[in-house]
Structure 1
Amino acid sequence: MDDEPLSDWAERRDAKIGRLRAVPLVPGESLKGSHLNPEAPRAIQRWNGYTWEPYGFASDLAETRRILYPEAFTPPAAVSAPQPLRSGTGRHRKPR
């Protein structure tokens, strides 16, 4: 059997440290898809390399997504106004 070196495995494990996940706080149910019970509160957990530890709390799915994916909710950078077409002789230009 071709085993990977322990250092490669440790690097892969350490790369996942700090990853967040949300666990719905619904009685009697196991972990399921995030789209189920969108109004249910969720516990935010953080991976510390060995186990999932409590990190935070979210009141519903929308707040959970803002915590887990902050880059999706940041406003885009200001976009400059489009530049008018310059005169030229490119092959896509009509001859005058």
Structure 2
Amino acid sequence: MDDEPLKDWAERRDAKIGRLRAVPVVSGDGPRGSHLQPDAPRVIERWNGHAWEPHAFAANLAEAKAILYPVITESAPPGPVPKPLGSGTGKYRKPHAPASDGGGRAQR
């Protein structure tokens, strides 16, 4: 049996500290799946390294998702703007048609 070094285990455990989860507030052993009661209130719990502790409260599933997965808007990084493909004869590009003298086939 290969035992994991304590140092590796502690690093793996500490990486999870601060993780959030939403738990529906239902009575008894009722359904706990979020898709079963989307309008049920939720308790947002935070992992402290040893146990889940209350962190926030959400009125429904949509509000809980907004807390768990905040929208992060990123602006475009400053710098050069990428250019669209220019002319050229790359490996998969179609060759340009040769310039014609306007006639193509001789007409009779």
Same fold (TM over 0.5): yes
Taking structure 1 as the reference length, the TM-score comes to: 0.79
The number of equivalent residue pairs is 92
For 2:22, what is the secondary structure of its paired residue? Answer: strand
Correspondence for 1:86:
86
User: 1:76: how far off?
Assistant: 5.7
Q: Which runs of 5+ in 2 are unaligned?
A: 77-81, 98-108
Amino acid in the other structure paired with 2:63: E
Contact 1:23 1:31 in 2 (8 A): no
Correspondence for 2:46:
46
RMSD: 2.3
Correspondence for 2:101:
none
Cα distance change, pair 30–19 in 1 and its aligned pair in 2 (3 A) = farther
User: 1:63: how far off?
Assistant: 0.9
User: 1:31: how far off?
Assistant: 6.4
For 2:65, what is the secondary structure of its paired residue? Answer: helix
User: Residues 6-85 of structure 1 correspond to what in structure 2 (within 5 A)?
Assistant: 6-29=6-29, 32-70=32-70, 73-75=71-73, 77=75, 85=85
For the residues of structure 1 that align with 2:17 and 2:43, how far apart are their CA atoms? 18
For 1:14, what is the secondary structure of its paired residue? Answer: helix
Cα distance change, pair 31–61 in 1 and its aligned pair in 2 (3 A) = same
Q: Which runs of 5+ in 1 are unaligned?
A: none
For 1:88, what is the secondary structure of its paired residue? Answer: coil
Query: Percent identity over the alignment?
Result: 64
Cα distance change, pair 10–31 in 1 and its aligned pair in 2 (3 A) = farther
User: 1:69: how far off?
Assistant: 1.2
Contact 1:24 1:41 in 2 (8 A): yes
